């Protein structure tokens, strides 16, 4: 009996990429001795993505679409696909719909899975086509994650991976409000294997990850896997308190030695603004954790499905 493998593809405004992606996927998986299901999860697209997927699904039996009720974000859309596919799949492959994740790597992912690995993930090699800032900020992100989180991340880790059914079952039970899937998959453990790959150029459209979204994603990842920022706030407060005491002693010594008081309102105002800003930063760190608790306490689902042909 053929093993069943599902390919989950979160999609947001990818109408211009679908035909090219499917052609590349079909060319790759046709020769493999497995039964494949290709599941597109539309994450509230504003273009013709849904209508195009419905048209293709009516013509190709192994293509399925899942239409979410609105835009819930890439990570939630990916979870929706895994949740649906887990019970009917021996393994699940996740990849993006912009062709930057090469379908030609799928046979290698499956080969490592057949060797006994439960998770086969990919690591993106540095892309020369990206700007210096983009590559540098990516390295800084992973460096910061490894410094502040108990879970270690390899630079370039992507959401292009294969997970075994038992891993998918465990992941599906997670009810976290703010998902950071590459961290969760790392956290669950099991036998994991990494494969390096060179990302393809985006076929069409623009990247959905703006600088603002990347920063938010980084903060989300750090606060999801570590309470170290809270400890950092404590040590920062202690350090600045020690600095304030030292400054006070220097001030007293200077006044006694030279016989007059140091004057200057500018230094006073600067100090007040500095410590005021520091207080806001610390309160912000605490507020993020309280906010996550607040949102988690509501118990809302990660996504809502509006329509689907998945069986």
Vertex 73: Cα angle to 70 and 74 (nearest 5): 125
Instruction: For residue 211, tell me if it sits in a domain.
Output: no
Is 216 inside a domain boundary? Answer: no
Residues 13 and 162 in one domain: yes
Of 224, 144, 139, 157, residue with least CA distance to 193: 157
pLDDT tens-digit map of 173-230? 888 777 878 778 888 888 899 888 887 665 454 555 555 666 666 666 666 666 666 6
Query: Does 85 reside within a domain?
Result: yes
Residue 34 maps to a domain: yes
Do 50 and 80 sit in the same domain of this protein?
yes
Asked whether the beta carbons of 122 and 161 are under 8 A apart, the reply is yes
Same domain, 43 and 164: yes
| Residues 44 and 171 both lie in one domain | yes
pLDDT band at residue 98, thresholds of 50, 70 and 90? confident
Percentage of the chain exceeding pLDDT 70 = 64
Alpha-carbon distances of 90 from 62, 118, 175, rounded to whole Å: 16, 11, 22
For residues 85 and 126, membership in a common domain is answered with: yes
Residue 213 lies in a domain: no
Residues 6+ apart with CB under 8 A from 271: none
pTM, two decimals, is 0.70
Q: What is the CATH classification number for the domain harbouring 36?
A: 3.90.550.10
pLDDT one-digit tens code per residue, 238-290? 676 667 667 767 766 766 676 665 555 546 655 776 676 677 677 777 777 77
The domain in which residue 123 lies consists of 4-206+301-308
Domain count, the chain: 2
């Amino acid at each position: 009996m053929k093993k069943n493998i599902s390919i989950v593809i979160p999609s947001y405004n990818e109408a211009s990429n679908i035909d090219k992606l499917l052609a590349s996927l079909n060319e790759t998986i046709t020769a493999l001795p497995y039964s494949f299901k290709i599941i597109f999860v539309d994450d509230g697209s504003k273009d013709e993505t849904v209508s195009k997927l419905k048209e293709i699904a009516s013509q190709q039996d192994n293509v399925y679409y899942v239409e979410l009720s609105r835009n819930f974000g890439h990570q939630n859309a990916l979870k929706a696909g895994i949740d649906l596919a887990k019970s009917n799949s021996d393994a699940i492959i996740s990849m993006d719909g912009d062709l930057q994740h090469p379908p030609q790597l799928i046979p290698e992912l499956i080969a490592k899975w057949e060797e006994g690995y439960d998770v086969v993930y990919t690591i993106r090699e540095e892309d020369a086509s990206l700007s210096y800032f983009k590559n540098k900020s990516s390295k800084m992100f992973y460096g910061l994650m490894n410094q502040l989180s108990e879970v270690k991340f390899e630079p370039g880790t992507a959401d292009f991976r294969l997970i075994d059914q038992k891993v998918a079952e465990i992941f599906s039970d997670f009810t976290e409000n703010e998902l950071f899937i590459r961290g969760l998959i790392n956290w669950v453990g099991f036998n994991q294997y990494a494969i390096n790959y060179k990302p393809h150029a985006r076929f069409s459209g623009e990247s959905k990850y703006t600088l603002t979204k990347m920063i938010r994603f980084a903060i989300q990842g750090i606060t999801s896997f570590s309470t170290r920022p809270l400890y950092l706030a404590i040590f920062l407060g202690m350090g600045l308190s020690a600095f304030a005491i030292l400054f006070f002693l220097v001030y007293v010594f200077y006044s006694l030695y030279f016989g007059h008081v140091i004057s200057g309102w500018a230094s006073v105002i600067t100090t007040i603004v500095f410590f005021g800003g520091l207080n806001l930063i610390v309160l912000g760190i605490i507020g993020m954790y309280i906010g996550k608790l607040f949102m988690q306490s509501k118990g809302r689902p990660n996504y809502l499905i509006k329509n689907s042909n998945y069986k």
